Amino acid sequence: MTDAPRPALSVVVPCFDEEGVFPAFLARMTAVLDRIEGASEIVVVDDGSRDATWRLMAEASARDPRIVAVRLMRNHGHQLALTAGLSICRGERVLIIDADLQDPPELLPDMMARLDAGADVVYGQRRERAGESLFKRLTAAAFYRLIGRMSDVEIPPDTGDFRLVTRRVLDMLLAMPERHRFIRGMVAWVGGRQEPIAYDRAPRAAGESKYPVSKMIRFAADAITGFSVVPLLASMTIGWIMAAVGFAFFVYSIVGWLMHSNLPGWTSLMAAIGLLGGMQFLMLGVIGAYLGRLYDQSKGRPLFLIRDIVGGGR
Ligand code: UDP
Ligand code: MG
């Protein structure tokens, strides 16, 4: 029924092993939608969950015609699961929200009002991060500072993907074929009128974080390689410094040779080898990080694979 009129609003929710929180999320989200004018849909994406998430989704979609349940073939990761949902939703406006109730659905009416007033994007900006570990808050702060310095795109700090965007912005986002997606950065890259809306981020309502440190590091690396070439160019800066130091040593050793005062010099040799070796491998790794992503992209595989779509007349 793709020629049916578009709903005024789509809510897109990536879910991975969220059986513990999914019913509570739907209850709070639908209660908010009941108060909003115009038709709406909720596109829930099962990102290869190993628990009962898909069963709960399918049942919910049978009960409530607003709910479209999408199941991916396997776990594709948060950003690609979200992309799958975004590509399927049909609304004139789209709310991106996590399933764990860290982002309050009740903020939606205020966000809608901002779009009514002409904004293209309203993004949630975290005032408090209750229930998040000191480690997570420190690493997040360091990460946003780092990417803020490295990237030409102004990526607002302390944001997640919790945001409301217009269909125009969504279509621009979906036109970007990049595989290693940092969606909050990609939305910022689009431009237009983007406004923050402050909120207190609640602790996760149930279940565990689906972002262990390993995934956080990969996500940060995707963000940096996707939005900056500064790490690639760093080898140039380091190279200049090393060349200057190397030249000084060259002069020093020649002078020493002329004066017949050269010593065996094991310490300086080892220090130089260690330093240069470490630096060279590090820079090779940086090149590898970009090259690997370039390779992934060049294969041109689809970003996600959909197994089922049920509900919402789809
Ligand atoms: N998520 C997903 N696929 C994944 C990991 C996470 O769809 O591989 C979803 C998850 O279900 C949640 C959202 O992405 O709705 C954010 O994950 P989470 O809340 O665990 O991250 P955190 O808030 O701890 O950074
Ligand atoms: Mg969360």
Parse the chain into domains and list their residue ranges. Answer: 9-228+301-310, 230-298
pLDDT on residue 253: 86
Mean pLDDT within 262-281: 84
More confident residue, 117 or 254: 117
Distance CA 179, CA 181 (A): 6
Q: Write the pLDDT tens digit of every residue in 275-310.
A: 889 889 999 999 999 999 999 999 999 999 999 999
Please indicate whether residue 99, judged by its CB atom, sits closer than 6 Å to ligand 1. yes
Ligand nearest to the CA of 13: 1
Gap between the Cα atoms of 107 and 25, Å rounded: 14
**What's the gap in Å between 250 CA and the centre of ligand 1?**
54
Which residue is it, tokens 């607002």? 156
- Atom of ligand 1 at shortest range from CA of 18: 11
For the Cβ of 228 lying below 6 angstroms from any atom of ligand 1, the answer is: no
pLDDT band for 156, please (50, 70, 90 cuts).
very high
271 pLDDT band, cuts 50/70/90, is confident
pLDDT at 262 over 80: no
> What SS3 class is residue 279?
helix
Q: What is the pTM of this model?
A: 0.92
Report d(CA 14, CA 26) in Å as an integer. 13
Does the pLDDT at position 1 exceed 70? no
Q: What is the pLDDT of residues 10-39, one digit of tens each?
A: 999 999 999 999 999 999 999 999 999 999
Which fold would CATH assign to domain 9-228+301-310? Spore Coat Polysaccharide Biosynthesis Protein SpsA; Chain A (3.90.550)
Give the tens place of pLDDT for each residue, 168-212. Answer: 999 999 999 999 999 999 999 999 999 999 999 899 999 999 999
Please, which contacts does 248-254 make with residues 24 or more away whose CB atoms are closer than 8 Å?
none
215-248 residue pLDDT tens: 999 999 999 999 999 999 998 898 899 889 988 9
**Confidence band (pLDDT; 50, 70, 90) for 2?**
low
For residue 209, the CA-to-ligand 2 centroid distance in Å is 6
What's the gap in Å between 106 CA and the centre of ligand 2? 17
Q: Give the model's pLDDT for residue 303.
A: 98
Ligand 1 centroid – CA 3 distance (Å): 32
Cα 21 to Cα 38: distance, rounded to the nearest angstrom:
27
Q: Is the CB of 48 under 6 A from ligand 1?
A: no
Is the Cβ atom of 102 under 6 angstroms away from ligand 1? Answer: yes
Best probe residue, ligand 1, of 100, 201, 219 (max atoms within 8 Å of C-beta): 100
Q: What is the mean pLDDT of the chain?
A: 94
